[in-house]
Structure 1
Amino acid sequence: MNNSNLDRVAKTLSEVRNKMPLVHCITNYVTINDCANILLSYGASPAMCEAYDEVFDFVKLSSALYVNLGTLNKEQEEAAILASTSAKIHNIPVVLDPVACAAIPKKVQVINRILQVGKIDVIKGNIGEIKFLAGQSSKVKGVDSLDTGEGALECCIALSRKYNCIVAATGKKDFITNGENSAIIENGTKMLTKVTGSGCMVGALCGAACGASEDKFTATVSAILSMNIAGEEAFKIATAPGSFRIKLIDCIYELSEQRLKEGAKITWK
């Protein structure tokens, strides 16, 4: 493992806690509370601001914008597009979670509009969603990916080069790339799939990390690794979904640079 890369990944955790980035979240109603709480435990400051009349001005006060398309309604759609426009004008990093884009065509229309008038710095989705956006066949069931992950890295690289952004595909293995350099993370636990919104929480953490670090690739790797290692730690104590969900947030709070470096299972490409 490249120790200098891993050192930078671990250092991002301290950068988040030192800078306490304000993460402007336009996210889905199923997991909004969990996203806010995990951001607080990570060391960031969450703001769940989605009113159309407020988002343009609020984005410029923020360290990052996180847009999650999970329960997209008309006001959220218009707010996300306007917020991303403001992010482009004010050079605020944008993390997009394209929830259910492979199942609902409307989501793709919104993504294309954001790319047209705003910007996206990181696309973080499950493997099925990323494969779909890359123009490949994917196996999904609603918001969940049933894909095995074969060819996922190649799809991430193609999508990253197409949109000139960081792309992360999460699953049994997590694939992150900037189009040139890539990381494959093999940490985590199956219990993360038994908790609603674990992917949304990862997206929020990516927003915090990108709001604290100039290196968006390393930041994204760090956020996803943090979630996975916290999941492993939580599962040692809580082996059922309800208690695991609570302990997961505790374990994010208790993370350290040393724990990330000791526990990381990362292959660099």
Structure 2
Amino acid sequence: MYNKWNDVKGKIDSQSPLIHCITSPIAINDCANAVLALGAKPIMAEHPLEVENITLMSKSLAVSLANITDARAESIMISGKAACKAGISSVIDLVGVTCSKMRADLAKKYITQCRPAVIKGNVSEIKAVCGMGFDASSGIDVSDKDKVDSANPKSIEEMSYIVKNYAAANGCVVMASGETDIISDGKEVYHISNGSSRMADVTGTGCILNCITAVFMSVTDALTACVLAAAVLGISGELADDSRGLGTYHIGLIDSLSLMDSEKFSQMAKIKKYNK
């Protein structure tokens, strides 16, 4: 995966792909700027009467269940079906499926009818769509009970098994984000260990990851896209970590994305192929 950065980033720079993002208004500005920072072009259209045409002129689609509304729910399904029919890859972010039956039902409907290339969520959200037990006490955030971290190798092993099996069952790539990001296409499993604890203090970093995954997916396969997106955002979070306050850190995250190069990526990416 380390040697794929130059080729993939070169394609983004030369093609400047149009990326359709239907995401939360809470994070929409940051998502658009993150897409721009990587060299792609964002379009954030979400009106039900226009989204099909917008999706069909785009190279990939990112949808999020965050801060969902009736209109956005309708648009997500319209765009997802259009993308599926046209062979345009989509990624869905499962925000809030642990605390909202409506979102959980919409997620299942999208996965079944729109066949996304990538299903993304935190550990609690992935467990929820798998039909497993999960702790919903933390709202849209991953619960302490469900957290996966390096201090508990068994938790990483168990979640790797869940992610791999769910990916295989749905014929897609599954990305469980966290301190260690776990990504699988049902055959291979990758662990990404980049990131900063301060990223959790900035609203919308999960939405950013969703949208930059779509950027990479516009020029490469879904597994490579997920691995690169998780590593690049994590590295950017680390590079911004010398910022003084949270506002400066927030801006530093986008700065670091825009300044990412092959040297930083090769030196800082913590990508491990899991072989169990």
Identity %: 28
Q: How much does 1:9 deviate?
A: 4.3
Work out the CA distance in 1 between the residues paired with 2:241 and 2:130: 33
1:1-269 matched pairs, under 5 angstroms: 5-140=1-136, 141-146=138-143, 147-149=146-148, 150=155, 151-213=158-220, 215-236=221-242, 238-269=243-274
- CA deviation string 1:49-92 (max 9, x = no partner): 11100011111100111000001111111111010110011111
CA–CA separation in structure 1 for the residues paired with 2:61 and 2:73: 14
Count of matched residue positions in the alignment of Structure 1 and Structure 2:
263
Unaligned runs of 5+ in 1: none
Query: Secondary structure in 1 aligned to 2:112?
Result: helix
2: CA distance, partners of 1:123 / 1:9: 22
Q: What stretches of structure 1 move > 4 A for 4+ residues in a row?
A: none
The answer to whether the 8 Å contact 1:189/1:235 transfers is yes
Give the TM-score of the pair, scaled to structure 1: 0.94
Q: 1:20, 1:212 within 8 Å by CA — same for their partners in 2? A: no
Say if 1:226 and 1:252, in contact at 8 Å, map to a contact too.
yes
Which structure 2 residue ranges, 5 or more long, are not aligned? 149-154
Q: CA deviation at 1:219?
A: 1.1
Aligned-pair distance for 1:10?
5.0
TM-score (normalizing by structure 2): 0.92
Distance in 2 (CA, whole Å) between partners of 1:266 and 1:139 is 28
Deviations 1:175-206 (A, max 9, x none): 01101011101111001001000110010100
Paired with 1:9 and 1:159, the residues of 2 have a C-alpha distance of 27
SS state of the match for residue 213, structure 2? helix
- CA–CA distance in 2 between the matches of 1:10 and 1:241? 31
Q: Helix, strand or coil: the match of 1:156? A: helix
